[in-house]
């Protein structure tokens, strides 16, 4: 593609390193999620079906609940020390958590201590994954100028999806070959260490360095004018509250979509079609492959079409699908019907990919990491809890139509946030109507 050929050596190197690191991080994070049908039975006590669903939901959303704490910690590090330090620290944390999980005794061996042990490891993974994905996306947003950064940042989403895909592939292999489940986590720990070594080669982003240098120049003038730092535009640039709300609302849809596609539909396969854990993982592997290929297509399309137009089209399609989903799920009579619903949904679920850089640029540079990561974490922590726990009760009372109680407000909120971003871009005259590819050579450093 013309845009990628116009990137400098440093930009290509950073893109490759961050892709590898993101792949490794999300492989480790999603490994437990996709093996949960087996691991929850090993690390938690056996009980009645209702309580089992609640325990499964709690195990699923635990790492996401603690993400806001990770956002505060790594947001501070990212906005004060630098973007590079954040992604290196989070990779090391993920590797250590995988080593711990590979050595944990099961519930049958040590009782409730096993449940606490696995929960603590999942919390560490949640904290580290928070700084990881946002750190990589912000790094490339600041390193590469638009429109080239649209597909470049979208590549991080590709690595995210590919990591989840490989986690499912490993889980499938473990089930199919009858291997010890710990082998998967030893593999995860090994590749996380590879990501840690690779990321030490990164340099700090030019935009962050330039902003720091401007502050140093102002510091040198403090003795002449003590008021200059208090009035400095860079330090005191305010965050638009409406932008914060809009960003939050656009991010709330993604976790609910993920849970619906992989977990909720997996439960239908288990309860209605008597699928085994191995069969559920195998079907989810197909869905993950479809999702990955869909994001690859988004990378290509973002070179040709403005990202906001792509996001709008996806949101329209998903809104129609989810409104029809309760009726469709109530009338499915074969597992491949579930597969079709999962596959179509994962191609157009509610998220801002590939327009992520557009949203990031609306936050001040010295508050960008904290704002973006905290909003991202809060939206996921809140929605994973609401979705995973809420659907236990809503679907018991309203069957599949309980999905609408979750998704209709999410769709409305997403459109509010998206339209705000679109209007902001148009007001700033950043909404490109020409082919982005033709502009690449003019805007890439």
Cα(188)–Cα(39) distance, rounded to whole angstroms?
16
What is the arithmetic mean of pLDDT over 29-50?
74
Q: What angle do CA 294, 296, 298 make, to 5 degrees?
A: 75
pLDDT digits (tens, 9 = 90+) for 309-322: 999 999 999 999 99
- Please check the confidence at residue 433 and state whether its pLDDT lies above 50: no
Cα(438)–Cα(442) distance, rounded to whole angstroms?
8
* Buried/exposed 195-229: b ≥16 CB within 10 Å, e otherwise: bbebbeebebbebbeebbeeeeebeeeeeeeeeee
Cα(295)–Cα(203) distance, rounded to whole angstroms?
27
Is the N-terminal amide bond of 147 cis, ω within 30° of 0? yes
Cα(407)–Cα(413) distance, rounded to whole angstroms?
10
What percent of the chain shows pLDDT beyond 70?
A: 81
pLDDT digits (tens, 9 = 90+) for 407-430: 999 999 999 999 998 998 888 766
Report the largest interatomic distance among the alpha carbons of the chain, rounded to a whole angstrom: 78
- Tell me the HSE value of 255 on the side-chain side, using a 13 A CA sphere: 25
Could you tell me the two tokens for 118? 């696995």
pLDDT digits (tens, 9 = 90+) for 59-98: 667 777 777 777 778 777 777 777 677 777 877 787 788 7
Q: How many helices (H) and strands (E) does the chain have?
A: 21, 0
More confident residue, 258 or 216: 258
Domain boundaries of the chain, sorted by first residue: 2-443
Query: Assign residue 435 a region: left if phi > 0, alpha if psi is -120 to 50, beta otherwise?
Result: beta
What percent of the chain shows pLDDT beyond 90?
A: 30
DSSP for 194-219, please give it. HHHHHHTT----HHHHHHHHHHHHHH
More confident residue, 12 or 37: 12
Q: Residues 351, 35: contact at Cβ < 8 Å? A: no
More confident residue, 400 or 130: 400
* Buried/exposed 367-381: b ≥16 CB within 10 Å, e otherwise: ebbbbbbbbbbbbbb
Fold observed for domain 2-443: Growth Hormone; Chain: A; (1.20.1250)
Q: What is the pLDDT of residue 227?
A: 52
């Amino acid at each position: 593609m013309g845009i990628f050929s116009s990137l400098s050596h440093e930009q290509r190197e950073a893109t490759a390193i961050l892709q590898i690191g993101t792949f490794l991080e999300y492989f480790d994070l999603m490994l437990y999620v996709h093996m949960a049908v087996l691991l929850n039975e090993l690390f938690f006590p056996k009980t009645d079906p209702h309580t089992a669903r609640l325990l499964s939901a709690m195990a699923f959303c635990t790492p996401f609940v603690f993400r806001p704490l990770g956002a505060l910690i790594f947001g501070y590090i990212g906005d004060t020390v630098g973007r590079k330090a954040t992604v290196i620290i989070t990779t090391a944390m993920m590797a250590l958590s995988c080593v711990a999980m590979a050595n944990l005794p099961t519930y049958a061996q040590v009782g409730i201590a096993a449940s606490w042990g696995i929960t603590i490891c999942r919390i560490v993974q949640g904290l580290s994954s928070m700084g990881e994905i946002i750190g990589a996306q912000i790094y490339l947003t600041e390193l590469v100028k638009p429109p080239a950064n649209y597909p470049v940042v979208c590549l991080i989403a590709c690595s995210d999806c590919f990591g989840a895909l490989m986690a499912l592939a490993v889980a499938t292999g473990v089930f199919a070959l009858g291997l010890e489940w710990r082998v998967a986590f030893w593999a995860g720990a090994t590749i996380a260490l590879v990501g840690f070594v690779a990321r030490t080669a990164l340099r700090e982003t030019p935009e962050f360095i330039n902003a720091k240098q401007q502050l140093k120049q102002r510091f040198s003038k403090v003795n002449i004018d003590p008021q200059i730092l208090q009035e400095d535009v860079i330090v005191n640039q305010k965050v638009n509250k409406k932008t914060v709300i809009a960003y939050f609302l656009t991010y709330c849809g993604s976790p609910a979509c993920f849970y619906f596609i992989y977990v909720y539909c997996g439960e239908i396969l288990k309860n209605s079609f008597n699928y085994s854990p191995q069969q559920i993982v195998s079907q989810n592997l197909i869905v993950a492959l479809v999702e990955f290929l869909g994001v690859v297509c988004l990378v290509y399309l973002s070179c040709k079409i403005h990202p906001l137009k792509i996001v709008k089209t996806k949101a329209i399609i998903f809104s129609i699908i989810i409104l029809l989903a309760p009726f469709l799920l109530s009338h499915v009579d074969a597992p491949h019907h579930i597969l079709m619903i999962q596959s179509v949904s994962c191609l157009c679920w509610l998220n801002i990919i590939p327009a992520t850089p557009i949203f990031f640029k609306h936050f001040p540079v010295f508050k960008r990491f904290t704002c973006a990561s905290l909003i991202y974490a809060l939206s996921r922590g809140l929605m994973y809890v609401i979705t995973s726990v809420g659907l236990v009760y809503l679907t018991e009372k309203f069957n599949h139509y309980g999905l609408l109680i979750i998704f209709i407000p999410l769709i409305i909120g997403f459109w509010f946030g998206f339209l705000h971003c679109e209007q902001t871009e148009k007001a700033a005259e950043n909404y490109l109507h020409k082919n982005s590819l033709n502009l690449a050579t003019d805007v890439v450093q």
